[in-house]
Structure 1
Amino acid sequence: MARIVNFMPAYAQAPAALTLLRRDVDAAVSKAASEGARVVLPAGEDALCQAFESAGVAVARADASFGYVYGNDTAARRLFMGEKPIPSAVTGSCEDALVGGEAWLAGDGAQTKLVWLNDAAEPVELPVRTTAADLAKAAGVEGAKAVYLGYPQGDVLPADATEVTLACDVVRVLGPEDCAAKALDRICQEYRHETCGHCVFGHEGSFQMAAVMHDVCRRHGQPGDVELLQDLAPVMEEQSLCEVGRTMAKTVRQALALFGDEVAAHYTRKACPAGDCDAYKTYHILVSRCTGCGDCLEACEDAAIMGKPGFVHVVDQRKCTQCGRCLEACKEGAVVMAGNKKPKTPPKPIPVRRKK
């Protein structure tokens, strides 16, 4: 059985396998050559590709604009056939054995894992077996409400999960001020970018999930959106051709099991419970900073700001479309955007308070 070693990052910003590879390229090249392995590397990594090729190791140069699909053995095999990396089945059905570069370099029994926490620029090395509480501590998040283990795991775990095994490069810890719907929307958009379009449930299912979450977070959610996703997820999880669709469906299912009520509140109550989604935030003008200059009045094309020279201006929330032009126009920093906690402002314009 031939072995293919995949060094393609699932996330471009989290190249764990490439990070380990760069620590000792010569040893990796020697190991690949002795094992007769083939390697998959980003096309832009010319020096690394040449190092393997000079030792007689077969290299497939892959498109680095996406990465999930390269974890599928049938997709990786197609690369060496000069074809597009489109999966034809779930990993495990191919005669070529596919192994992740990090696991291949670290060897059996590795006790630590390189992880990028909450979009950090640099990774941290954490125990492979850990807890959600320890992940929250490492991320510096207090009062965590959930942990997301990125692809290929795709697990959304409660903050009290005590048995967590790290097999992914990206971990995101949700704190009390992080919106679960916004987090799920971001995850769905990431998956949607990766789908190959080779099967109906993977392609159309991911599109539907991503579209629903996009609308929910932008005040366009519809009654029954959560129920729709809950019905779609288990079918998509079973019927998708490869791991991308199946893992996405599992992620959505787990997230809704924990935060279905929070997601639904966006369209049932027209509010973001965490105060995190911009579409549900409101604009206000602070009395203590407004000079009555009128810059925001001129910037607002919806006539949603009341005021006149020398008077503190006031945003009419019934007319405001949250375009943000007033925020950009105010040089005094008087215009602010607020979530659930709103500043106190007068109902109508009042004279500007003159500083003594």
Structure 2
Amino acid sequence: MTVVNLMPAHRQAPVALWLLARDFDASVSRIADSGAEAVLVPAGHELAARLADALGDSVRVVECNPELGFVYANPSAAAKVLSGEKPIPSCANGEGADSVIEGSALLADEGSRWVWLEGASEPVCLGATATVAELAAAAGAEEPKAVYVGYPAGTLTSAADAEVTVELASDYVRVYTAKNCMANALNEICQLYRHETCGRCVFGHEGSHQIATIVADVCRKKGKPSDLALLRDLCPVMQSQCLCEQGRVMARTVMAFLDLFEAEIFAHIGKKTCPAGECKAFLTYHILASKCQACNACVDSCEEDAILGRPRFIHVIDQKACTQCGACLGSCEYGAIVTAGAVKPKCPPKPIPFRKR
């Protein structure tokens, strides 16, 4: 059985659906000529009914759960959807009788690849491969740090390897810059994989849970020195023992992040700091004495009584009592309250009398 998959693996990268809407008639013709028995589309999508009318009885249109994306790329999981079962893989890609044709590949011109760069409003057309420098330029990234090609590729390449060729085996590509925390980036990716694991095998289901928990703890300031070594022990086992691609790709992605950015990730554990200043748990709030007008608005907004001061005194934030809720940021109309990561501004240790300038 052959199935055409129009389900976005990444919600922010609906390339196949974008190509379908861009040239509907030509896309319908390609789907009809593909020899597929069914086509998968997100339930409730505006083009689902129109596609069913256009294809008629030649190809069955099946509306699927839009909360999932990765799993529909697996042929055995996609085939189960046709009989009303849950999309749980029974084998890895290429190991069964069923096959999946990716919609983004089917609807694109031969030799080209449409990819959705993070933050873009529509995909861009590139070749099947591109250099790291070309992807960074296409994304308009300043100070690029790495290029990530999403599921099912799950590859990460350092921006320092500008001329290295990357295979665009995914609809989604993200270019990370100096402003991005790689621990937080890995956490976002792991939570997405954890959400979609099928639970068919212990290594995939429990392994993905353990990885997601460990990485989340690192970003929540709860990481332990042994965590990264545990990840390096767990990931190779998952790569060899998981029954379908999700656990394998997740493990490969984690290893790539550790190989390239282990020092930055370990800084969250060893130094208790987020070098990029992106992880919320590592942010601290400060009141700039040069801008504070002693209006007392921030004191009134803080429910934790973490702001020390009184009217006509420049205030100071008690870092031990502060919960980083951010309420004080919105209360200050003078821009005197700022957040800081690894580099902290110089602030007075205690409230000082306010003098009008």
| Superposition TM-score tier, normalisation by shorter sequence | over 0.9
Report deviation, 1:88: 0.6
Give ranges in structure 2 of 5+ residues lacking alignment: none
1:266 corresponds to: 268
Report deviation, 1:53: 4.4
1:115 corresponds to: 115
Do the aligned partners of residues 163 and 34 (structure 1) sit closer, same or farther apart at CA in structure 2, a change above 3 Å counting? closer
- The question of 1:27 aligning with 2:14 is answered no
Native 8 Å contact 1:304 1:319 kept in 2: yes
Q: Which amino acid aligns with 2:75?
A: D
1:208 corresponds to: 210
2:128 corresponds to: 128
Distance 1:263 1:3 in 2: 42
Within 5 Å, which residues of 2 pair with 1:270-349?
A: 270-349=272-351
CA displacement, residues 77-120 of structure 1 (integer Å, 9 cap, x when unaligned): 1111221110011011221221101212236x42x322222232
Native 8 Å contact 1:29 1:55 kept in 2: no
Native 8 Å contact 2:235 2:252 kept in 1: yes
Distance 2:23 2:335 in 1: 51
3-state SS of paired residue (1:51): helix
- After superposing the two structures, state which structure 1 stretch, 70-79 or 93-102, moved more: 93-102
Q: Which amino acid aligns with 1:261?
A: A
Do the aligned partners of residues 314 and 218 (structure 1) sit closer, same or farther apart at CA in structure 2, a change above 3 Å counting? same
Do the aligned partners of residues 295 and 62 (structure 1) sit closer, same or farther apart at CA in structure 2, a change above 3 Å counting? same
Give ranges in structure 1 of 5+ residues lacking alignment: none
TM-score normalised per structure 2 = 0.93
Report deviation, 1:194: 1.1
Distance 2:355 2:139 in 1: 43
Do the aligned partners of residues 205 and 191 (structure 1) sit closer, same or farther apart at CA in structure 2, a change above 3 Å counting? same
Report deviation, 1:135: 1.1
Distance 1:34 1:175 in 2: 42
1:41 corresponds to: 41
2:195 corresponds to: 193
1:183 corresponds to: 185
Distance 1:167 1:48 in 2: 29
Report deviation, 1:34: 4.0
1:80 to 79, 82, 98: 82
Do the aligned partners of residues 272 and 253 (structure 1) sit closer, same or farther apart at CA in structure 2, a change above 3 Å counting? same
Distance 1:14 1:314 in 2: 44
CA displacement, residues 23-75 of structure 1 (integer Å, 9 cap, x when unaligned): 33223333433444121111223334423542531222211111000000000
TM-score normalised per structure 1 = 0.93
Do the aligned partners of residues 36 and 164 (structure 1) sit closer, same or farther apart at CA in structure 2, a change above 3 Å counting? closer
Distance 2:118 2:70 in 1: 19
Distance 1:211 1:321 in 2: 22
Distance 1:305 1:93 in 2: 61
CA displacement, residues 138-160 of structure 1 (integer Å, 9 cap, x when unaligned): 11222222111111110011111
Native 8 Å contact 1:33 1:55 kept in 2: no
Within 5 Å, which residues of 2 pair with 1:133-282?
A: 133-159=133-159, 160=161, 162-282=164-284
1:8 corresponds to: 7
Native 8 Å contact 2:76 2:91 kept in 1: yes
- After superposing the two structures, state which structure 1 stretch, 288-297 or 8-17, moved more: 288-297
3-state SS of paired residue (1:147): strand
- After superposing the two structures, state which structure 1 stretch, 307-316 or 338-347, moved more: 338-347
Distance 1:33 1:182 in 2: 43
Do the aligned partners of residues 55 and 270 (structure 1) sit closer, same or farther apart at CA in structure 2, a change above 3 Å counting? same
Q: Which amino acid aligns with 1:32?
A: I
Q: Which amino acid aligns with 2:219?
A: C
Number of equivalences = 352
- The question of 1:100 aligning with 2:102 is answered yes
Give RMSD over aligned pairs: 1.8
Native 8 Å contact 2:30 2:106 kept in 1: no
Native 8 Å contact 1:296 1:305 kept in 2: yes
Distance 1:353 1:177 in 2: 36
3-state SS of paired residue (1:346): coil
Distance 1:240 1:335 in 2: 48
Report deviation, 1:121: 2.6
Do the aligned partners of residues 281 and 34 (structure 1) sit closer, same or farther apart at CA in structure 2, a change above 3 Å counting? closer
Distance 2:286 2:146 in 1: 31
Native 8 Å contact 1:147 1:156 kept in 2: yes
1:57 corresponds to: 59
3-state SS of paired residue (1:157): strand
Report deviation, 1:168: 1.0
1:351 corresponds to: 353
Distance 1:32 1:300 in 2: 58
Report deviation, 1:130: 1.1
Report deviation, 1:268: 0.9
